[in-house]
Amino acid sequence: MENTINGIHHITAIAGNAKRNYDFYTKVLGQRMVKKTVNFDDPETYHLYYGDKQGTPGTILTFFPWEGIQTGRRGARQATEIGYSVPEGSFDFWLNRFEKHNVTYNKVAEKFGEQYLTFLDPDGLKLELIASKTTDTRLPWETEDIKADNATKGFHNVTITTNKMQPTADVLTNVFGYRLLEQHVNRYRFVTDAVDNANIVDLVEVQGEVAGHVAGGSVHHVAFRVKNEEVLMEYRDKIAALGLNITDKIDRNYFYSLYFREPGGVLFEIATDNPGFSVDEPVEELGTHLKLPAQHERFRSALEKSLPKLD
């Protein structure tokens, strides 16, 4: 895990109504609110982080909730599905829960020898619960309604839809250290052995697929995990050497980041484990305070009044 890409760090998506988003992920799915902050570039919009107890990389789904945003469209050049690992035997629990909360879902199906349950969040973001055939020992966040024998444990995989899979596959294999594990028809499963979980990327090649539109209910970017800033900058050199445009290092308060658009059109981020989400509030209090980037702290009183109430 030293100088490697260690699977998925986080995934960021776009939502509409912030309260609806908060209620779905904390109350229906049973995620922990790990961090309540604001968009660095648009401080009048939240940046909400959901995950496990400590905000462990590989469990974090984040949202920019823009009220009134138009609905996006899934298509090529996009991350189109987010898969969560759940315990085997938990699907009956989730089917009953989705019925109770009027969640749109499909019947349980199977791919690559694993059962999965597809469903949509209130903005139409496509999610999957997957009973992984690889042992997942991660400890989930539990709520009064959702205990460990059913709870999501963190990411299993992310799916990218592309018109031509090879350029994206080249980045995954030649730069990130993934390898092709399996193929079924036009779905190619890539995995990294650097970590045991949150380590799968599926590429679905559909040559005639129209490019999707990133808006409400869409994935904004996929972030891959590295140990620290030193490794981060090693990857910057590798990606720049390919002729791809990549940002300078950006301080996101809870991790340091680089961004680049891979050849298939999806925005990739590389993010560090350090300093982590407990840098500005203890683990026991994660997500209970509005945390602001230093440059926006002077707007605190106005933001506390204008940002939607979540609780």
Q: In which order are the strands placed within the sheet that holds 200-205?
A: 109-111, 114-120, 126-130, 78-85, 154-162, 200-205, 187-191, 179-184
Tens digits of per-residue pLDDT, 128-159? 999 999 999 999 999 999 999 999 999 999 99
By percentage, how much of the chain surpasses pLDDT 90?
A: 98
Residue 3 lies in a domain: no
156-185 pLDDT, tens digit per residue, is 999 999 999 999 999 999 999 999 999 999
What are the pLDDT digits (tens) for 266-302?
Answer: 999 999 999 999 999 999 999 999 999 999 999 999 9
User: In this structure, are residues 127 and 141 in contact, taking their beta carbons and an 8 Å threshold?
Assistant: no
- If phi over 0 gives left and psi between -120 and 50 gives alpha, with beta otherwise, what is residue 288? alpha
The CATH number for 221's domain is 3.10.180.10
Whether 251 is covered by a domain: the verdict is yes
- In the chain, the number of structural domains is 1
16-54 tens-digit pLDDT: 999 999 999 999 999 999 999 999 999 999 999 999 999
pLDDT, tens digit (0-9, with 9 covering 90-100), for 223-263: 999 999 999 999 999 999 999 999 999 999 999 999 999 99
User: Is 222 domain-assigned?
Assistant: yes
Residue 261 is part of which domain span? 8-306
CA atoms within 13 A on the CB side of 288: 8
Is residue 235 domain-resident? yes
pLDDT at 2 > cutoff 90: no
The model's confidence at residue 311, banded by pLDDT at 50, 70 and 90, is confident
In the predicted model, what is the mean pLDDT of residues 71-92?
A: 98
Under the banding of pLDDT at 50, 70 and 90, the label for residue 1 is low
Q: Which amino acid belongs to residue 141?
A: W
Residue 196 pLDDT > 60, yes or no? Answer: yes
Predicted local confidence at residue 198, as pLDDT:
98
Identify whether the C-beta of residue 13 lies closer than 8 Å to the C-beta of residue 46. Answer: no
Strand 126-130 to strand 42-51: parallel, antiparallel, or no bridges (unpaired)?
unpaired
Has residue 273 been placed in a domain?
yes
Q: Does 267 map to a domain?
A: yes
Query: Per the domain annotation, does 70 fall within a domain?
Result: yes
- 1 belongs to a structural domain: no
